Each structure stands twice: as C-alpha cells, then as structure tokens.
A and B are shown apart, each in its own frame.
Chain A
C-alpha cells in the first residue's frame, strides 16, 4: 500500500472550526420548500376545505368556465375541478410517499447488506437487481397491473418495488465507500458484529446523501404514478387523482377548456419544487474551480 501525504488545501486543519452541519438554502430553495410544505398541508386538510365532495356531480353540463359556483371551472362530468384537486392531493401524495418509503426500506436493507457481506450475497443480489433494472418501469407495471388490477395497495407495491432497484444501487455504492474507511476497519478489528457495524458505523454516515436521493426518488414516483393514472392504469374513478384528472379531461383541450391543465400544473408545481429543494441542498459548490478558467 502506497503511503502518500495528501496535498492539504488551504484552511484545512483549523481546530476552532465549528461542526457546521446546518443546511443553508438559497431563496430559490426556500421558495421550493414553501410550496412543498403547502401541498403537504393540503394533503392533510384538503377534503375539509374543499367546497364539494370529489365525486359530487354539480352541473349537468361539462367544461363550464370559472364562476362563483366553480372557482376554476367544472370537468367533463360537471364536477368541481378545484375540489377534485384538493381531494386528489391526498391520493397522489399519499400513494407516492408510501411507495417511496417502501422502495427505500427494501433498497437500503438489501443494498447495505450486499455491500457489507460482499461475496456471493453481493453478486446474487446485484445481478437480480440488474435484471429488474433492465425491464422498463412502465412495462413492468403494466404487466403487474394487468394481472392483479390497479387497486391502491397494488400501485404502492408496484411502484415501490420497481424503484427499489435504483435505491439498492445507490445504497450499495455509498455503503461500499464507507466500508473502506479506517473507522470501519477499527470496528472490525475490535471484533464488532455485522449488525453493529451496519447500524452504528455505516448507516449514520450515508444518511445525508440518501436523504437527497429520497427527494429525487419521490419525484420520480409521483411522475410514475401520474403517468400510470394517465394511461388509465392507476387510480380508478371516481377517486380524484391528479394524473387521472388530466386523462379524463384531455378532450376539453380542443374546446379550449383548461380542465386538464390545472391538475397538470398542480403536479408540476409539486415536483419542480421538490427538485428545487433537493438540488439546492446537494449542489453546494457548483463549479468553484471552473470559475477560475480564463
């Protein structure tokens, strides 16, 4: 093993430097966070503040424009769009969050196990993972849903399992990076068991990058579920769901109705904001050295 003394950068060994673990957001990140929190709140209280029930048929006519009765118009069946969006927040966010948590739980467990055990466990799990990664997401979902129907638990399970493959790779890569650090070797030399090493030495040090990955993953899953709903394979009517709403009201576009646009905008604001926050947190130094090019 080569012994090298690393080139020290300026400001390196400063004994008085504070631990500095606080995250600072720029104004863009703060705006994003505000919007995300806004939608999370709506997810909780949506049904209570909506003027109408999500399945309530108010008018006989479809695609009515905005009025005092329908704050942003009615959809193709005569239901209030605003109410359906408010009700649908809970569905969309709820399913996506549940699926993301499932993906994370599965992915992290298997990923860290693969990295920590190495050998055949690692080989086997990685190969299986690669196979599932090779199958296009939507196709997998199609097959499963065609077989078992599209109830909410099926949707959560499908999305969760499909995206756990990506989490597996990330968790495994991170865990591998950490497991070569000296303090892990020190723990091994002490005689610590695998469980201790995984939970006390490795896990706390990969939480931060995993948290930002969680944000990305959540966005993907929201888009995935919305896309499935858009294809008619997701949440079934009359339950309000943003993706389904876009699908249902597509015809209205040619009549100039914005019924399909509002739920699409709702999706966009949520996902863009999430990405803004995640981007802000993870992009600490964007090209500091590159700025020195002349």
Chain B
C-alpha cells in the first residue's frame, strides 16, 4: 500500500543576507499511511510546522526548500509546476491553522469560505458543496447548521470557529489533513469537545492526518504514530503507546517529565504545621468592574469580580485558577491598584491599601510586585537589562553606583542567568530568559508578595517547567509570598499551597491544595480536574463515555443575576434552587470552602 505522504531527507533553509543560509529542517524523513494519524511533537523552533507545511509544497516567506523529496501519493511535490501545486492545495491536502480567528476572512461569509476549496477545484458544484458543508456542520455538532453558512466569522465563538476550520478542510474530501496545533489556544474544557469532534470526523472520512502539537497529553488521545522533533531534526519515532510509556531518546524523556507534573495527587506541603495567623495580603469581599460609572449607586457596566475573599500567608503560595474571562487577571490588577475595587478592601499586613495606585505610598507599592504574562512585551526593548533591573533599585531602595551594580549581579545569579546579560537588550533573549528577567525585576524591589499572572503560559513545556523550579527555589530562599494565576490546573497544583477556583468572577471553591483536589468537589472543580488530558492513551474515550461532562462550547460565560453563576453548565443544577437566592458557603476542615446549593 503506497503511503499517502512520504517525506525523504527533507532540507529547508533560511537564506541570510550576509551569512551562509541557516538550516531549519535537517534531513527529516516521515511516512504516513492512509487513515493514519501521525503526531509531530516538538517545542517552538523545532520545525514541526515547517515540515508539516511542506506537504502542501509551501514554505513561509523567508524560507526555501533546499533538498529531499516530498511524495504525495507517489508524486514529488517539490518538482511540480506551480499550477499543479495550486490544484493540490485544498483538494488533496488540507490545512488547519492554529488560530481560527486568523484563518477566516472577516469580510466573507462562513459558508463561502468553507465551500471555496471544493468549488474552485471542481470537486463539487456550489449547491452540492453547500449541502456537504451543512452535513459537516451537523457532524461537528455546531449549532444551527442550516443558517450557519450565512453568518460572518465575528458572529461565532472561538471553539466554533475551530470546528469550522475542520469543516473547511474536509469539504473537498482531501486525502491528507494537516492539523497545526488546533487546540493550543483553547481552554481546557473546550479542548475536549474539539478533540472529540476531530477524532470522530477523521475516523469517518478515513483521511490521513498529520497532527502538529507540543502538548503530549493531546497526542496520546488522537495519534497512532509519533515523531519527536528538536531543532529541525527527528529525535525519535514510533507508535504512540511506546513513545509515551517507554521513550527511548533522552529528549523525549525530558518532554514526558515536563508534561507530567508530580503533585496532582495533592500531597501536603507540610507548611500548615504552624500557620502564621497574620496574612501578608488579605482580600476582603472585593468586587470589581470595568466600564464607566464605577463608583456610586449606579450599576457598573461590567462586573467582573463578585465578593472575592482570600488570604495569603507569609511564604505561602495561593494559586488562582479558572477559565479565560473568569476574572483572575482582574484580581491581580485590583490587588496591585491598577484597577480600583468597586467594593471591599485589600489589606497589606492588616493595613488597608488605597484602591487607586496613585494614592498608595512608595513602600506599599514596593511590597506588592507584579510579574506579567507576556515576557515579550513586559520588558522595554530599548532598555538594557541593567537599566531594567536598576530602575526599581533606584526608585524604591535608593541604590546607586557600586551598590546597585552588585545588587544587579546578585539578582541575575538568583534567576540563574549569566552576569554578562546585564548589557544585553531584551530582543536578544529567549522567551524563558525574558521571563526570568521579569522575575528578577519584581524581586529587585524586595517585595513581600509577588503577583504572577500566567507567567508560564506563553512558554514551552520544558522551559516552563524550569521556570516553575526556579520559582520554588526562590520561594525557599527569599520567603516571598506568591499569588499564582493560571488557567492550567496541574501547574497551579504543583506550585501552590492553597487554591482558589474562580468561575465568572465568583469563588466557587478554595482551600489547601490537597483538600480542593480530592472529593468532595464543587461541580466546576470536578469539571476542571477531569478535563486535564492525561498522559494516558484512551483517556479521552473514557471521559466521553462518562456523562458527567458539559463543556462551555457555544455558551458564553453568562452571569446570572442571582443564584449560582455556574447554573447553566452544572450537571447537578436544579432549577428553582440553584437559580435563586444567595449561594451558601459550605465549610470543611482546614479552611476548605465550597460555594454550592447542594451539600456535597
């Protein structure tokens, strides 16, 4: 049986203006049989997307093919004429990009874009294509399949757009599908639904697929074969079970470790033995909103946080977890004073902090520091590292001259970066290195609390795992407290002592890690816990059999005016009880709280 795709010794390079070309893809070979799903795993920069795009005879601008063959059904794509290549794209090989929002043209209807390939390449007539599109919408469980085609991309949610991309790719009945990190940008709960849809549709159509990703747990659910890539070269290749359970190559092993954080078992951290009764930060009943008319009796436009309370003890880590839009970043902004709370107080060591940043005194500002998410934009590209680190030293601590230089060197040591970096500019650093500088800058002020807002979300798995190790070491050394925000429950669980689970701006559960992550669960916490793709083959199928799940696809996070905010998505919801009245808080030992109408 001829392979659908057979890549031989592929070489791709990036020509440089004043140097020899840079080799991006080095001698890569790959084979995909009909109906097979092959995963290409690697971190960013590994070349996985570049290799996947070669199946379309396409190179991103700035790159060119410099060797090898790409055989599609036996014919070498790299030697084909331009018009023939154009005929293959979208017809025999279809591409699903990572970002659905960037894939769709905002000025054309969904229907036109989904059916375009099929019609242009003459596979179907316009009427037939429309019908097939409708069938695909139905198979992908998209709402309102008959009228969906007439809508525009901005009228549809992110998860729906992702599945529409699949419809667009499948409409022309291709032999091979290239899925390029299609679920990376999605929430964990949405991811499940989308994966389920993809898996079903791939099976039904009998297409072959290349699945590009850096997320191993996802690979375990969907792939038959796995190829591991690093720096443009193949490290290892084999059936999925073997790669996951018995990796041969060193790099693969490190990837597995980074993907499997240790403490989902919720081991106690042992710091509860003697809790310091005075919290360094206390958030008391804070509500916050965006929009005009914030203060006063008039209703604020967009209430984002509702009566959130939490305490951060000295040298403790409080993790805040929830989906995007749940208000966790808003919480950080309120604590830091960037957004004033509508009601409630923030206490620093028992003293009330002014709601506005501008009203706080210097020492109050110094003691609470933020570490931002996007390391790329959190550092001024025009300032050298020593200026970036030096400014808080001068501003808060009044250090100058030799004292300042020494402190800068000490900070670089603390974040495990070479001292020579102090003369560099941020664009010269990698993502992980920039994030370490971010941390160093926050630590320069000698704070009591660090507010970490999704600090590893934009980093690769291995790099991110290293940063978490660094955070743990820093915590031991300096005794700083952390408020650690993330959408990734496993990382939060790994690093935190306590967890606060937010849904739509409400606290639904909070308490010590081992309590929150073991039953009884708030229904939303259970949803989060079970949504994390486990590094186990067959986990997805098992989850889908379990009827407990309702994800949020197609539903926006609506805050009900009264009653429980989770009402619309809760499997235990009872109309009449849950949709009315204030949600009672149930207390459990060790400061564990669950907000639910049911007694769990």
Q: Do chains A and B touch in the complex (CB under 8 A)?
A: yes
Tell me whether A294 and B82 are in contact (CB under 8 A).
yes
Cα distance A12–B459 when bound, in Å?
Answer: 12
Q: Please state if B370 and A186 are interface contacts (CB–CB under 8 Å).
A: yes
Given A8-B44, A10-B60, A12-B44, are A186 and B362 neighbors across the interface (CB < 8 Å)?
Answer: no
State the CA gap A15–B427 with chains docked (Å): 9
Are A205 and B357 interface neighbours, CB within 8 A? Answer: no
Counting CB contacts under 8 A, is B137 at the interface?
A: no
Judge whether A117 is part of the interface by a CB distance below 8 angstroms: no
Residue of A nearest to B424 (CB): A19
A14 contacts across to B, CB distance below 8 A: 45, 430
Interface string of A128-164 (1 = CB under 8 A from B): 0000000000000000000000000000000000000
Q: Write the chain A residue with the least CB distance to B365.
A: A191
**Are A18 and B325 touching (Cβ within 8 A)?**
no
Q: Which of A4, A11, A183, A186 contacts B24 (CB 8 A)?
A: A11
Tell me the bound Cα distance from A258 to B350 in angstroms.
86
Which residues on A sit within 8 Å (CB–CB) of B58? 292
Are B370 and A189 closer than 8 Å at their CB atoms?
Answer: yes
Interface residues of B in 45-66 (CB under 8 A from A): 45, 47, 49-50, 58, 60-63
Report the Cα distance A17→B324, complex, angstroms: 33
Contact A191 B362 (CB under 8 A): yes
- Give the contacting residue for A7; candidates B14, B98, B338; CB below 8 A: B98
Q: Is residue B550 within 8 Å, beta carbon to beta carbon, of the partner chain?
A: no
CB contacts (< 8 Å) of A8 on chain B: these are 44-45
Q: Which residues of A line the B interface, CB within 8 A?
A: 1-15, 17-19, 24, 181-183, 185-186, 188-192, 200-201, 204-205, 285, 288-289, 291-292, 294
Residues of B within 8 A of A10 (CB): 14, 24, 45, 47, 49-50, 60, 62-63
Among B63, B83, B324, B430, contact of A3 (Cβ-Cβ < 8 Å): B324
Contacting A at CB under 8 A, from B355-406, are 357-358, 360, 362, 365, 370, 372-374, 377-383, 391-392, 395
A283 to B219, CA, bound (A): 42
Is B99 interfacial (CB-CB < 8 Å)?
Answer: yes
Give A288 to B63 CA distance when docked, in angstroms.
11
Chain A residues lying within 8 Å of B585, measured Cβ to Cβ, are: none
CA A85 – CA B100 in complex, angstroms? 60
Residue of A nearest to B87 (CB): A294
Contact in complex: A7, B370 (CB < 8 Å): no
What residues of chain B lie closer than 8 Å to A19, measured between beta carbons?
424-425, 427-428
| Nearest CB of A to B316, in Å | 22
- 0/1 string, B400-438, CB within 8 A of A gives 1: 000000000000000000000000110111110100000
Chain B residue nearest to A15 (CB atoms) is B430
B61 and A289 within 8 A (CB) = yes
CA distance A273 to B169 in the complex (A): 49
Whether A185 contacts B338 in the complex (CB less than 8 A), given A3-B457, A13-B44, A15-B430, comes out as yes
CB-CB under 8 A for A183 and B380, given A5-B457, A189-B336, A292-B58? yes
Asked if B185 contacts A5 (CB within 8 A), the reply is yes
Q: Which secondary structure characterizes the binding site on chain A?
A: loop
Q: Which residues of A contact B97 (CB under 8 A)?
A: 7
Chain B residues, CB < 8 A from A4 = 99, 185
- Going nearest first, the 9 A-B pairs with the smallest beta carbon separation are A288-B61, A15-B430, A182-B378, A204-B382, A182-B377, A294-B86, A3-B324, A183-B380, A7-B98
Q: Are B374 and A182 in contact (CB under 8 A)?
A: yes
Indicate whether B337 reaches chain A with its CB closer than 8 angstroms: yes
- Excluding A4-B185, A185-B338, A189-B337, 18 further A-B contacts by CB distance (< 8 Å) are A3-B487, A6-B458, A7-B181, A10-B60, A11-B24, A11-B45, A12-B44, A13-B44, A13-B45, A19-B424, A182-B372, A186-B441, A201-B380, A204-B383, A285-B61, A288-B62, A292-B61, A294-B86
- 1/0 contact trace for B161-191 toward A, CB 8 Å? 0000000000000000000010011000000
* Known A2-B324, A19-B425, A294-B82: A13·B395 in contact at CB below 8 Å: no
Q: Which residue of A lies closest to B374 (CB)?
A: A182
Q: B431 and A191: CB pair below 8 A?
A: no
In the complex, whether B85 has a CB less than 8 A from a CB of chain A is: yes
Q: Does residue B497 face the partner (Cβ distance < 8 Å to A)?
A: no
B134 interface residue (CB < 8 Å to A) = no
Would A192 and B395 be within 8 Å (CB), given that A1-B324, A10-B49 are in contact?
A: yes
Known A13-B431, A182-B372, A186-B378; judge A1-B329 contact (CB<8 A).
yes
Question: B99 contacts A15, CB within 8 Å?
Answer: no
Q: Across the interface, which residues of A come within 8 angstroms of B391, CB to CB?
A: 190
Chain A residues within an 8 Å CB radius of B14: 10-11
* Nearest CB of B to A16, in Å: 8
- B357 and A191 contacting across the interface, CB-CB below 8 Å: yes
Tell me the bound Cα distance from A290 to B199 in angstroms. 34
**A99 vs chain B, min Cβ distance (A):** 29
Q: Please state if B62 and A183 are interface contacts (CB–CB under 8 Å).
A: no
Q: Does B17 contact A (CB under 8 A)?
A: yes
Contacts of B102 in A (CB 8 A): 7
Specify the chain A residue showing the minimal Cβ separation from B392: A190
Q: Which of B58, B86, B372 gathers the greatest number of chain A CB atoms within 10 Å?
A: B372
Distance in angstroms from A11 CB to nearest chain B CB is 6
How far in angstroms is the closest Cβ of chain A from B103? 10
Which A residues lie within 8 Å of B85 (CB)? 294
Query: Can you give 26 contacting A-B residue pairs, CB < 8 Å?
Result: A3-B324, A5-B184, A5-B458, A10-B45, A10-B62, A10-B63, A11-B14, A13-B45, A14-B45, A19-B425, A19-B427, A183-B378, A185-B338, A185-B372, A186-B378, A188-B338, A189-B338, A191-B357, A191-B362, A191-B365, A192-B395, A200-B383, A288-B62, A291-B61, A292-B61, A294-B86
Q: Within the assembled complex, what's the spacing in Å between the Cα atoms of A110 and B429?
A: 35
Instruction: Specify the chain A residue showing the minimal Cβ separation from B375.
Output: A182
| Residue of chain A at shortest CB distance from B304 | A1
Cβ contact within 8 Å between B60 and A15? no
Taking CB as reference atom, which chain A residue is nearest B431?
A13
Task: Verify if B509 is at the interface (C-beta below 8 Å from A).
Answer: no
A285 to B85, CA, bound (A): 25
A7 touches B99 (CB 8 A): yes
Chain A residues with CB below 8 A from B441, complex form: 186
Candidate in A10, A13, A24, A204 with the most chain B CB atoms within 10 angstroms: A10
CB distance from B321 to the nearest CB of A (A): 12
Q: How far is the CB of A21 from chain B (nearest CB, A)?
A: 9
Q: Does B454 contact A (CB under 8 A)?
A: yes
Report A74 CB to chain B, min CB distance, Å: 50
CB-nearest residue of chain A to B427: A19
> CB within 8 Å of A: which of B79-118?
82-83, 85-86, 97-99, 102
Q: Which residues of B contact A24 (CB under 8 A)?
A: 17
Within the assembled complex, what's the spacing in Å between the Cα atoms of A200 and B14?
A: 36
For residue A128, give the distance in angstroms from its CB to the closest CB of chain B. Answer: 24
Contact partner of B428 among A2, A18, A204, A292, CB < 8 A?
A18
**A288 CA to B360 CA, complexed, in Å:** 50
A203 to chain B, nearest CB (A): 9
Q: Which of B173-220 contact A (CB under 8 A)?
A: 181, 184-185
Q: A14 to B47, alpha carbons, bound, how many Å?
A: 12
